[in-house]
Amino acid sequence: MPQDKVLTYNPHPTTPRLVLPAGACDSHVHVFGPAEYFPFDPARGFTPVDAPKETLFALHRLLGIERCVIVQSLIHGYDNRVVEDAIAAGGGRYLGVALVPVDVPDAELARLAATGFRGVRFNFMRHLASPAGIEGVVAFTRRLAPYGLHLQVHFESCLVHSLAEPLARSAVPVVIDHMGRVDAALGAEHADFLALHRLMRNPLFRVKVSGIDRVCNSSDYTAGIALAKQLVRDFPERCLWGTDWPHPNHHHVPDDAVLADSLAQIAPDAAALRQLLVTNPQSFYRFDA
């Protein structure tokens, strides 16, 4: 295991220009540590600098974000306590998505749901592959339904073609991370984005228009913004947005204020912005009113 700690986030983000609507939600972040209290998983791929809840809360105050969904990271593996701790400190404004094995007991699913978790995530990336396989995960969704938990999936863009049919058999709603990790440089007519777009016609699915900084290499994220804008336009009631702070496994460290300001282009009027940041997450994640 590498011992050099990696700083994955910008410790000095700039101040955004865009004023977000009241109740705005960051629907995709992680928290790391402090490792002294929440040990990192021995099987993790790298060792990050701590990115604790206090740093996340401070970032959200800067950005004007009042609600959040924290996604458990493989940095902490199946030990979801680090997210539970942040949820408890969030005063009802922070909820979670857990990592669990498919043989997790029903009692633990019930406990997670009662604690403030709204879903479970499975990875289908080369460096984060789920050992359960897609059929095992789809079968597992029948156990999520009684607890009001949804399925969240993170996959390589090329896998959208093979995952679309089994995911459509999920017993619970499915959230697709980071626009399916498409290559934005290939444009909206590329087969992977077209398959994602077809998938989104099914009301079972939601998509996170996060990761504009991951799906393209241009410094202004123009290509990623264009795809996010199209998804928000075509599926306004089923898009969610997040910063993906603190940006693990990334090719650069983005400025979170730049990501927030990009919303002015992704959702270019007040109604669309409120739908994306307030109405959709309120309805889907069930924050306290």
Q: Out of 26, 50, 192, 244, which one is annotated catalytic?
A: 244
Name which of 15, 209, 95 is nearest 196 in CA terms. 209
d(CA 180, CA 159): 9
DSSP symbol at 180: G
Residue 27's H or E segment, with its range, is: strand 25-29
How far, in Å, CA of 13 to CA of 288, rounded?
A: 29
Annotation says 41 is catalytic: no
Count Cα atoms within 13 angstroms, Cβ side, for 204: 17
State both tokens at 199: 């998938």
C-alpha to C-alpha distance for 191 and 170, rounded to whole angstroms: 23
Q: Which residue has the tokens 């493989």?
A: 74
Backbone dihedral angles phi then psi of residue 90, each to the nearest 5 degrees: -85, 0
- CA dihedral for 155, 99, 214, 47, sign (positive or negative): negative
C-alpha closest to that of 60 among 95, 9, 26: 26
Quote the CA–CA distance of 28 and 116 in Å, as a whole number: 15
Positive or negative torsion for Cα 166, 168, 171, 175? positive
Q: For residue 247, is it left (φ>0), alpha (ψ between -120 and 50) or beta?
A: left
Instruction: Please list the active-site residues.
Output: 244
